Amino acid sequence: MITQDAFPVEDWFVRETRLDRALLGSAESIFALSNGHLGLRGNLDEGEPHGLPGTYLNGFYEERPLPYAEAGYGYPELGQTVVNVTNGKLVRLLVDDEPFDVRYGQLLAHERVLDLRAGTLTRTADWISPAGRRVRIRSRRLVSFVQRAVAAVEFTVEPVDGPARLTLQSELVANEPMPQRDDDPRVSAALDSPLVSLEHSSSQHGATLMHRTRRSGLGMAVAMHNDVEAPGRVEVETTTGEDWARTTAVSELEPGQQLRLVKHLGYGWSALRSQPALRDQVAGAISGARFTGFEGLLREQREYLDEFWRAADVLVEGDPEIQQAVRFALFHVLQAGARAEQRGIPAKGLTGPGYDGHIFWDTEAYVLPVLTYTAPEAAADALRWRWTTLDRARRRAGELGLRGAAFPWRTIAGDESSGYWPAGTAAFHVNADIAAAVERYRVVTGDASLEADGGGEVLVETARLWMSLGHHDARGRWHLTGVTGPDEYSALVDDNVFTNLAAAHNLVAAAEAVTRHPDLARATGADLEEAATWRDAARDVHVPYDDDLRVHPQDSQFTSHPEWDFAAHPDYPLLLNAPYVELYRRQVVKQADAEFAVFWFGQRFTAQEKARIVDYYEPRTVRDSSLSAAVQAVVTAEVGHLELAHDYAYEAASVDLRDLHRNTGDGLHIASLAGTWIALVNGFGGLRECDGALSFDPALPQGLTRLRFSVRWHGAAVHVDVRHDRVEYQLADDAAGEVVLRHAGEELTLRPGGAATRRLQPRKPLLATPRQPPGRAPVHRGQGH
């Protein structure tokens, strides 16, 4: 676990107080900068040492064959893997003739600071070279939220104890050697020099490199321009090769004098545009950045984030670690999607190559709910990207012998990239998750344009998928068989409760969309008769219930399976220590599944049923996925186990800042970061959308004294301030009209600038606090000390 002495707890900063080379990989992910289009891992300016170098463009990938011991009909043939594109972060320093390298000489001080309000990464270092020459170094780095294609680096160095010849080498490097990180040699082969040079050019102060991928045929360009300042004489020159470009600046300075370099970077890629068009695109980006200037870019960045935090900030009193973590989480969730602009949001954002850079159901189930309430334009863009892949989803459904559209379990460009059929193809709930995100956007924002621009078509085609998967039995009940729910330790099951309820929600949403939009009905051929069959299936959906245990089984057979022998399998994660054939036939849960159904479809369960679901599944849920803790926080809070929920919230918040899963070096867990907000706002704030209305039912654990947050509802900011004994709801002064919300079932009307306060009663659980599997109690808050 990363401890607080390495990364202290501060409200608005993540600060690394010393350079610990054992934590390089994790720090590179934590300090990554992105805007949803371009991502830079937080590598040291000089590039070495590193955990994993990384520069990423959203949607830019290479193809590779998927391995199968035995082929089968409908198996996806090609995988997609994110490419580490041309590295523009590099600024190397030579002091006299010795390179600045933290592994040599003496590092007197070293600090890096991620400023969550400024959107910058700052580094300072005080170093003595092996020859005894001391210098002070400072760099600032940003990826612009305002100018989508632009990143910039400011690098200054000054001698301390005597004159020194200082040489800065500002570089672009393509096809960087990468550490082998995957047991599958096909991945390493695909990523071994994946970029083919198209052209390279230079001027005195900058250069442009253009490449394309070998197999997927995607083209990319990167340009840099370097402005150099120093008192006295400075020599500047630029040279290039196919995979590199270098601007070198040399100056001789006295103590206290500074050599300053400002590096502007422009990135672009396309599957369609010509080389000249791409070249012009990045040249234009550089021109715009230079016109703005580095200080101007900093101002734009701060103004953009000021606007975001005004409506999105979450104030937590009583738990400083969660306070830091939720702001860190919101910052990275914003970075993952802010300027994706009709690209998907990968599970790792653009912070690392984990999961091959793939997009999963995590995006719609965890990330987009947060963005819908805090940055709705970004949520809409991500959903419009799903619509652009609809033809691929239709084709995939046809390959599976189904109607409608089958969206992929994991993908970059929209094609299924999972070779593991049970957890991939059979996890059809991804389609309902996407539909739920489309419907949530409409309900929360009041904006019908997404539905008209393709969201409605997504609802129709996913509804058709469910109708071709489901069937009515002789008793009139509608079933879904042979599916995999959120719990990947149960595969190819019948009537998974979450999937059935999610499908029913999808079917109703599609029917209502067709009714609202006659144009949609005509364009898709979905008449009212077809919509009526969707409503019938949703009405008749079977939700299994075990009368003997008085609990909903996760699927129709789950509670009849043998129990898992925890004593015989003490090591986690279970998927690396036990065969799947055993996991599939036992009562053991990888991640919240039935509890997820309670969270999303709570109106379908009574308070007693919710309490029994928590009581039954908590001892069987091992949380071998970072997706689980946030959902468990929400549901345990709802049924009154507030202290347990606080621990789950802390675990969700700490996954990356404390590297709980020992894999933060591969990239951040963007869904778990979003889950921090979900645990606090949906959990302790009690936020739900109920029958199209904004609803709250808050309660705080003893460890929190105050929770204040804001959500956007139909374009207006609603501020919620929760304390142990009361809650205040306030509508922003600039709201266009009144907002009707529910507090614990009571309807309240807020007018612009108006507020309403309600008293809170202690929340008492119906059942005793449940236990967890051996060794799997949530990480208790404060263990990062």
The one-letter code for the residue type at 124 is: T
Per-residue tokens: 457:
């078509």
Residue with tokens 């996407």, as numbered in its chain: 434
Catalytic positions, please?
488
Within 8 A by CB and 6+ apart from 643, the residues are 701, 702, 703, 769
Within 8 A by CB and 6+ apart from 548, the residues are none
From CA 153, how far away is CA 88, in angstroms rounded? 9
| Radius of gyration, CA atoms only, the chain | 27
From CA 377, how far away is CA 556, in angstroms rounded? 40
Contact 464, 399 (CB under 8 A): no
Per-residue tokens: 207:
């250069």
Q: For residue 424, give the H/E element and its range.
A: none
Kindly tell me the sign of the dihedral angle through the C-alpha atoms of 298, 36, 591, 467: positive
Would you tell me the crossing angle of helices 320-337 and 670-677 to the nearest 10 degrees?
120
Contact 622, 632 (CB under 8 A): no
196, with CB counted inside 10 A (0-12, 13-18, 19+), is middle
Listing DSSP states for 431-443 in one string gives HHHHHHHHHHHHH
The one-letter code for the residue type at 720 is: V
622 alpha-carbon distance from chain centroid: 22
The closest alpha carbon to 111, from 10, 251, 38, 253, belongs to: 10
From CA 401, how far away is CA 284, in angstroms rounded? 47
From CA 266, how far away is CA 480, in angstroms rounded? 49
Q: Rounded to the nearest 10 degrees, how much is the dihedral formed by the CA atoms of 391, 393, 394, 400?
A: 150
Within 8 A by CB and 6+ apart from 124, the residues are 109, 110, 111, 136, 137, 138
